[in-house]
Amino acid sequence: MAWLVAGLGNPGERYAQTRHNLGRMAVEELARDARASFKKVRFLPIEIAEVRIGEEPVVLARSTRFMNEAGPSYASLARKRDIDPERFVAVHDELDLQPGVLRIKRGGGSAGHNGLRSLDRALGTSDYLRVRVGIGRPPGRQDPADFVLQPIGKGDRADVELLAGRAADAVRSLLEDGLERTQDRFNGAAPGSPSNDAPPRTN
């Protein structure tokens, strides 16, 4: 049975370089590394690239629907390919982790993330693997929605690209080496950070 790796994000150039698209950037990095192209799936609002990671067949997926309504796209693809939730990986941005921090886990709540909420409803379970990519809370009183959807400044783009690359590496490790070894390897502080604790909620 193949793995399905869903890169959560929004379609279109308007959102391509935003923090909310880090999951999508990671699966695109995996496709580039494998020299694979995304292709539209007939009758589904989704694009896929089929690759191998180690010995594992993998379907990389990005929905052509917006984040908050994309869950049915991924769930329909999983059913079409007979992929169980145990072999489903969601890669997504996370406000409640410091910028650059990764957390890999199975299951959990949505923590207000609309993409995860849509995915949970569509799959009928929250018991799937997640690669959580820390982006931190917005500065001052900025609305979190504005923060995640604003274009990334030129000064931050290199760091964001590196973070997407680390998330892609975490997916590779997860599929090749399993959850526990990947957690040991990646569930630490961000590079250059003295702590791996998430900042407290401010709302």
Separation of alpha carbons 183 and 103, rounded Å: 7
Residue 13 neighbours by CB distance under 10 Å:
6
- pLDDT digits over 172-187, tens only? 999 999 999 999 999 9
The domain locations on the chain are 3-186
Confidence of residue 198 (pLDDT cuts 50, 70, 90): very low
The residues annotated as belonging to the active site are: 20
- Mean pLDDT for 70-86 is 97
pLDDT confidence of residue 154 = 87
Residue-wise pLDDT for 23-44, tens only, equals: 999 999 999 999 999 999 999 9
**pLDDT of 152-170, one tens digit each?**
888 888 999 999 999 999 9
Query: How far is the C-alpha of 14 from the C-alpha of 85, rounded, in Å?
Result: 31
Q: What residues have CB less than 8 Å from 6, skipping those under 6 apart?
A: 23, 27, 61, 62, 63, 74, 88, 89, 90, 91, 119
Q: What CATH number has the domain spanning 3-186?
A: 3.40.50.1470
